Amino acid sequence: MTPQPYVTVVIVNWNTREMLAQCLDSIADSGWWPVDDGYREVPFKADVIVVDNASSDRSVEMVRDQYPNVQLIENNENVGFARGNNQALQEAQGYYVMLLNSDAELTSGALEALVAYIDAHPDVGAVGPYLLNGDGATLQPSCHPVLTPRREFWRLCFLDRIWPQATYPMHRWDPATPREVEVIKGACLVLRREALDQVGLLDEQYFMYSEEMDLCYRLSQAGWKLVWVPEARVIHHGEASSKQMAERMYIELYRSKVQFHRKFGGNRRARLFKALVALAYLPRALIASAAGLLTPTLRSRARTYRRLLRTLPGL
């Protein structure tokens, strides 16, 4: 008889106290939850680790007061998403590990469906859910092909809307049939511990963004399958932390993408990627700057584009 799966849920938080509480409540409502007198009689058990990256919104006090059985790791500074997750992964005892964003909520049966699928398929190293937007109804992309310079340029030129290359046409996928994919979004990602031990933890050179693509790529290169499991539904509000520093995070996004190309393709591929991004963003910056003269709301966007173009050569 196969032993019951044991899952460690890892959540990295930075100033998202209210959403973090909703996230933790959704876990408590969905499966085994650590309590003083043991575990509830439900299909499987899970423990939860929250890593707080020096939040200033009293997130730590909220977790300590309202969720005393959650393991809490408190950082004195924002060490980034990858390093924060790794801190918890080094403590995790689960046979499976779920990386879950603090602005995500599990719906009923989601955790069970993800664990049941990966438990039944020993060649699968990671699974991800059907992500829903904050309205709880509309589809949010939860997986995508591995990034290449050509795919990024194609997407930035809006050609993906005609012929998807950098994204999957998920709105046309059967919502009842699992699919093998290349990259699963880090908003909710369940990993087999055996696979994680084989390829290693998240690369801490990524402060934020692209760390899950790096991990998924390494899993795939090692022969593990990655599967989208639409039976599992997870609500993801999105960018709850990053929007607090939108312009800085926009630059960080491309810093991580350049870093991914340099790591797996060398400096030549990184230079090609930067050149194509600059080619795509130059007309955007010019148009947004001109439009900003008449529409003040576009000025911040134009400023972000100009900053990206200035920063890009040194990334």
pTM for this one? Answer: 0.90
Q: Six-digit token pair at 106?
A: 């599990």
pLDDT of residue 239: 62
Ranges of CATH 3.90.550.10 domains, the chain: 6-240
The yes-or-no verdict on residue 133 having pLDDT over 50 is yes
Reported as a pLDDT band with limits 50, 70 and 90, residue 37 is very low
Of residues 31, 20, 100, the one with CA closest to residue 55: 20
| pLDDT tens digits for range 214-268 | 999 999 999 999 999 999 999 999 765 445 457 888 899 999 999 999 999 999 9
Higher pLDDT, 241 or 92: 92
pLDDT of residue 276: 96
- Kindly report which listed range (25-34, 112-121, 176-185, 189-198) carries the lowest average pLDDT score: 25-34
HSE-up of residue 24 (Cα within 13 Å, Cβ side): 27
Task: Output 303-308 pairs: Cβ under 8 A, ≥24 positions apart.
Answer: 303/247, 304/246, 304/247, 304/250, 305/281, 307/247, 307/251, 308/250, 308/251, 308/254, 308/277, 308/281
The predicted model gives 192-207 an average pLDDT of: 95
Reported as a pLDDT band with limits 50, 70 and 90, residue 10 is very high
CB atoms within 10 A of CB 157: 14
CATH of segment(s) 6-240: 3.90.550.10
Of residues 166, 171, 179, 22, the one with CA closest to residue 101: 22
First to last CA, the chain: 52
CA dist 85 and 12 (Å) reads 6
